[in-house]
Structure 1
């Protein structure tokens, strides 16, 4: 009798555009501009780009962002900035044949008093038949089960909010010692040398009432040589009150 070792992983993807990771969604972000008592519905299209049938489930989650830009998740309605309790998705679960696309409807109805600030949540679309697909392939003694999960940002910006304000509070340049392989050697520790690098940190804060997205670009000039240097642009996404580094 064959022994099957199954390792289960959940691969989560958060989208600004469509991603090809087994299935695709579009759009990757949904923006509402609803005042209290005004219902609205938007569509999200999901496409099965695999050769296998998929069973998918839609759920909502709260999230906030820490100072490093990482998301912290919680149950629907946990965070005061959440709108997940005001959302419905139809259908909540469905099947997709290979190559098939389906539109799910995301509806929002903000209750009175809950439209004073920007609110947000995450719509997760999760594959739930990964075990069934793996069991069909009995040729392998060990399997790795990948559950694909895509997160779609849901935002509401009430129409009375107009102030968009992102500020750079400080820029710090500092030295850092980094281990790096010697030129022409393997990447092993014994072949490493310590080099001195100059790094830059920018501290920004969203002081407005609206979502602020953009890209930080800097141009630096050496005071003695006048040589110009352009660091790689850094994209950012911020909610009101966010402080990012």
Structure 2
């Protein structure tokens, strides 16, 4: 049945759903305790290492700062990143570099009472025989089993919110190729209409067999005035042997003229050598 609301009531409903959605986003993957989320789970990522045939473990810490108990169902999923770094989720074992079926838990549900702290052990069974030296991954979800009613301005609108937390799980075999992050393309696109924004487009690749994180820093220099403009750094994450595109809006204070652009990829994945990659490009901004 299609529900129809008066215009003002419709706006309130939309604002409420937006707020709930934002709360869900804040609670997922943070690994830190939020006062309005009441539940703290850390760390947000677990890294496993071990020899073939071993079972290794890591520990998660949970806490409840609220005034009511919470029950969570534990489940596993595959995940990977798309061409712009967004996450795609699937059932366990769907993606080629999944370790979801190697993860073992002591419980499928957990209850954490007000003021309580608990530890949850996560086990990884490392395959005895494998010729693949690529890092594997999965995600462990803690999903609240009972949604909580939320107060609204209109009691007739029943809204319930269930919190969900995701913990990323990684396994890296011994001797895995670390590789580097490398720039592949660097271009500039002018705005074709008033609604579009001027953009820098960067394509980069992970040549290694491990997941990598990096910071992308960009500086523009006006070649006539010498004015330097720094763009807010971007956090990046990329899967093994993967390629990504990054779209960066040019700040409004960049006036027309010729600019030298320096882009820097700073990765901490290999402490044994310099991990900063630099790309330069000259552009004309209309």
Assess, with a 3 A threshold, how the Cα gap between structure 1 residues 88 and 97 changes in structure 2: closer, same or farther: same
1:99-110 alignment runs, 5 A limit: 99-110=115-126
Contact 1:54 1:127 in 2 (8 A): yes
1:1-245 alignment runs, 5 A limit: 11=24, 13-15=27-29, 17-20=31-34, 21-114=37-130, 116-130=133-147, 133-134=148-149, 140-177=155-192, 194=194, 197-245=197-245
Give secondary structure in 2 for the equivalent of 1:142.
coil
**Unaligned stretches of 5+ residues in structure 2:** 1-15, 246-286
Assess, with a 3 A threshold, how the Cα gap between structure 1 residues 140 and 50 changes in structure 2: closer, same or farther: farther
Distance 1:71 1:102 in 2: 29
Give 1 or 2: higher strand fraction.
1
TM-score after normalising by structure 1: 0.81
Structure 1 runs (4+) deviating above 6 angstroms are 7-10
**Unaligned stretches of 5+ residues in structure 1:** 1-6, 179-193
Q: Which has the higher contact order (CA 8 A, sep 6+)?
A: 1
Q: Deviations over 1:158-184 (max 9, x none)?
A: 121142311111221221256xxxxxx
Assess, with a 3 A threshold, how the Cα gap between structure 1 residues 127 and 174 changes in structure 2: closer, same or farther: same
Pairs aligned (count): 219
Assess, with a 3 A threshold, how the Cα gap between structure 1 residues 60 and 197 changes in structure 2: closer, same or farther: closer
TM-score after normalising by structure 2: 0.70
